[in-house]
Amino acid sequence: MSWDSQHDRAFWISPEERIAFYLNRQELFEIDLAQYEEVKSKTHWNRKEMRLVAYQDYEYTFTHWYCKHIVHLPRIRNIRTLPFYKSYKDLHSLMNFFQAFDQAGKSHANTKYPLFYGEAGDTGGIPCIRKSRKSDDNTSVIFNFRSLRLTSPCSEAASVDIPWKKKKNDVIWRGATTGQEQRVVFVEKYFGKYDVGFASTKQKPHLNHLKKGKVTIKEQLRYKFIISLEGNDVASNLRWILSSNSVPIMTKPYWQSWIMEARLEPGVHYLQLNDDLSNLEEVLDWAVANDDACREIAENGKKYMSQFLDQNHDLPIQKMLLDEYAKRLTYNHN
């Protein structure tokens, strides 16, 4: 999808600044292979999710074909155990990694990149390439992994959205019990006051009393305001909310991903909750009294997200990132 004729680029970030951000502003990446193997062997998840991957090793394999032609299909993308494979995270991530080479050039195809397929796992200071990092993580590198889960819903949101004036002047949130206690605290506090609740409590069944019926993206977009809460890492609904005519309400982002959450500004791209989640009523009172300003915040979010949704613009940046990483990477074999 190309957004050049539809959106003002005032909110777009230069490719150079984006690359610097994703690379954590590091000039060199030195990886001691002994240390890498030690970190990889520490936990069950690291053994599964840390991989040294070269595009050249996969180019003519069944895995490459499967990622290119099968994984993205609507009936396949949400299956947790994919046909022929036990796991889906690696294939979803590999799909994005392969796509950069397939569509934007095959330079550095023989470089072995240290990919991490997981979410909140600790990679022990190894400059792994992953889909998200904490704000105080000074080593990890960000890539556009798991786009089927995080970015694809933006197209759905755009197709089913309604104009601002037709939306309910109210707030909604649905989500799982994943992550730290933030979501639990939020739902316990606001369950009886707003349309807020857990759609799934599989991980924490003792919270069944805080469940409410599942709602689709289309149904959530009937509301002007949608809560966005981080879970295991980034909030999975943030990208499609920003792509819509609704306004995200959220705390200052702690996790960073491909959309550079650190560059989002309260009052410009979203309405800010206190870290203790105590001020939702105040935020909504302000929002009701400042309807035009909120509509502009929704528009700003769409302009900001457009740079990540325009594949003609974004995919070359993904490949530039991999090229720059390869140029700065050295392995210590001692």
Mean pLDDT value across the chain? 92
pLDDT(334) > 70: no
pLDDT(180) > 80: no
Placement of tokens 């003609």 in the chain: 312
Residue of 196 and 86 predicted with greater confidence: 196
Structure tokens at 307: 């740079």
Q: Which of 165, 156, 332 is nearest to 237 (CA)?
A: 156
Question: Residue 84 — very low, low, confident or very high, per pLDDT cuts 50/70/90?
Answer: low
Structure tokens at 29: 């990446």
Both ends of the chain: CA-CA distance in Å?
A: 47
Domains of the chain, first to last = 11-148+310-332 (no CATH), 153-309 (3.40.50.2000)
Q: What are phi and psi of 16, to 5 degrees?
A: -65, -40
User: How do residues 16-40 score in pLDDT, each as one tens digit?
Assistant: 999 999 999 999 999 999 999 999 9
User: How do residues 234-247 score in pLDDT, each as one tens digit?
Assistant: 999 999 999 999 99
Question: Residue 314 — very low, low, confident or very high, per pLDDT cuts 50/70/90?
Answer: very high
pLDDT(13) > 60: yes
pLDDT(298) > 90: yes
pLDDT(7) > 60: no
Which own/partner contact pairs does 166-169 have at CB distance under 8 Å and 24+ positions apart? 167/221, 167/222, 167/223, 167/224, 167/245, 167/246, 168/222, 168/223, 168/224, 169/224, 169/288, 169/291
Question: How far apart (Å, rounded) are the C-alpha atoms in residues 163 and 93?
Answer: 34
pLDDT(119) > 70: yes
Question: How far apart (Å, rounded) are the C-alpha atoms in residues 88 and 278?
Answer: 37
User: How do residues 221-272 score in pLDDT, each as one tens digit?
Assistant: 999 999 999 998 999 999 999 999 999 999 999 999 999 999 999 999 999 9
pTM (two decimals): 0.92
